[in-house]
Structure 1
Amino acid sequence: MWNPDTYLSFADHRGRPFFDLLSRVAPDAPRRVVDLGCGPGNLTGTLTQRWPGAVLEAWDFSPEMVAAAQRRGLPAHVGAIEDWTPQPDTDVVLSNAALQWVPTHRELVVRWAGQLPAGAWIAFQVPGNFDAPSHHAVRALARREPFVEPLRDMPWRDVGQVDDPAQYAELLTDAGCAVDAWETTYIHQLTGETPVLDWITGTALTQVKARLTEELWQRYRQAIIPMLAEAYPRRADGTTFFPFRRVFVVAQVG
């Protein structure tokens, strides 16, 4: 379902939260660094520059994304985040915009805190925009004909999919970690005829597209364009402002 080229079309915008997260992770000389949900590997590759002496481990559930990462020369593996278990020498676990896809991620991060060695770091960033106009439009259109039947049982990501920073801080503090948690709303300045649609096609609409025939997918795209244009109007200079809230958590195991 995942298209690396579509995802990378907004690489600069999607990369900024990764580096904002990474800036708060400060191990001296990590032995093993793990990227869970590595995607096409464009960001994962920077970890070898940050920590050249560390063993790098990368996972993603999408074979297409893993293949793209492997073409970059990265040791990427196909696997679900839920199935990952830390090796004894794991000192850094990173996950950038991936844990929102895992309903049990709260239990997972607590489990990792108990499995990782003292001093290890857990750092993740998840979108906090599930109540945004873009997501409302995606769900509202799915309730209309002729999309109702193929999208009837869609497991929509909703507001409760992720927690706020305080909830994650409480969770991991109780697990024995020192926690730094915060949120940021980025105002992405996008260009193009359908910039918001182009953005969510690479993320929020991946499952929608997978359930529709090509004809229905094209009809869905045409129907959502005016809905997104109303929610995110184009400015006089031709750009579109796209606010995007994200939640960040950095925890060091005690």
Structure 2
Amino acid sequence: MSAAARPTWDPAQYLRHAGHRTRPFTDLLARVASLPGDPPRIADLGCGAGNVTALLADRWPTALITGYDNAPEMLDRAHVDHDGPTTGGGRLTFLRADVRIWTPDRPHDLIVSNATLQWIPGHAERFPDWIAGLAPGGTLAFQVPGNFDAPSHALMRRLTRSPRWRARLDGVLRHSGAVLRPEEYLQRLTGLGCAADVWETTYVHLLQGDDPVLDWVKGTGLRPVLTALADDPEARDAFLAEYRTALRAAYPPGPHGTPFPFRRVFAVARTRERGARAV
């Protein structure tokens, strides 16, 4: 598999840790102020299985919400579980789109993205188009993982570059610079004329079960490796065995579960309302 090949996704595997994965999104939404539209128009970039997209309808019951993703496996699950009118009079719709080139075709009140932009090289270069696609007083809000230097990801990269796996796997994983530093996001967003709020949080998830960190990354960061080895189950299992051993040493279980620190970076950028002066 080349480095540019699209990883295949497993909605059931991803949703195994839905509770932990949802919390950063709810923390992000808590910092989003009121939206100018009535009903508001919302785009969720990288909606995945739609489980967090549905939370937007809880916050803005009348909203017209569209989730965009390019993974057919995830979109199929989103259609089945969440597509259609909402109880508040709004609607949830899910469409296939490539976030790398997606541009709003009409003004949006909120463009939101949850743990997606780290998959898009140079994603900050898309900010001008997305900001330009917001209605006056609209908001761009996103969160991305900031844990590429954590053992879970560093060990994964180290293993793919080892002599045994280099020929097949070197280059399939994202590099440590896939996410910008918080101050870089702040500078870019304020430079576009937005009032920006940028912060970071390290969650310490207490995971249960055998090899829970491996189970977690099998739903997200490890997908490119699993895709590359999908045609060779023996090699896939051998890689997982090596990686499992390394993760057990890095994340030993405690008496109540396995602590799994996970840093995330958040940004909420609001455009000026109509008639407001720049300061």
Match 1:198 to one of 194, 197, 215 = 215
**1:69 and 2:78 are equivalent in the alignment:** yes
Offset of residue 238 of structure 1: 4.7
- 1:48 to 1:29, Cα distance in 2 relative to 1, 3 A: farther
Counterpart code for 2:32? V
- Residues 36-76 of structure 1: per-residue CA shift (max 9 Å, x gap): 11010111112112112211111011000011000023211
For 2:133, the aligned partner's letter is Q
Which letter does structure 1 place at the counterpart of 2:94?
A: A
Aligned to 2:168: 150
Match of 1:160 in 2: 177
What percent identity do the matched residue pairs reach?
44
1:87 aligns to 2:94 (yes or no) = no
Q: Please, which moves more after superposition, 112-121 or 56-65?
A: 112-121
Q: Secondary structure at the match of 1:82?
A: coil
User: Structure 1: where are the runs of 5+ without partners?
Assistant: none
1:13 aligns with 2:30: no
> Is the Cα–Cα contact under 8 Å of residues 121 and 178 in structure 2 kept in the other structure?
yes
Q: 1-side partners of 2:78 and 2:122: how far apart?
A: 25
**2:90 paired residue number:** none
For 1:48 and 1:193, the matched residues in 2 are separated by 35
**Which residue number corresponds to residue 30 of structure 2?**
23
Residues of 2 paired with 1:141 and 1:152: CA distance?
9
Q: Do structure 1's residue 225 and structure 2's residue 232 form an aligned pair?
A: no
RMSD: 1.3
Give the distance between the partners of 2:221 and 2:35, measured in 1 at CA. 37
Q: In the comparison of the two structures, how many residue pairs are matched?
A: 252
Question: 2:152 corresponds to which residue?
Answer: 134
What SS does structure 2 have at the residue aligned with 1:149?
A: helix
Residues 29, 53 of structure 1: 8 Å contact kept:
no
Residues 1:224 and 1:28: Cα distance change in structure 2 (over 3 Å): closer
Q: Following the alignment from structure 1 to structure 2, what is the Cα–Cα distance between the partners of residues 127 and 57?
A: 23
Task: Indicate the SS of the match to 2:137.
Answer: coil
Residue 123 of structure 2 corresponds to residue 123 of structure 1: no
Flag as ranges the 4+ runs of structure 1 deviating above 4 A: none
Q: In the TM superposition, what is the alpha-carbon distance from 1:26 to its structure 2 partner?
A: 1.5
Structure 2 unaligned segments of length 5 or more: list them: 1-7, 84-92, 273-279
Tell me the equivalent position of 2:41: 32
Quick one: which amino acid aligns to residue 126 of structure 1? V
Which among 38, 46, 50 is matched to residue 41 of structure 1? 50
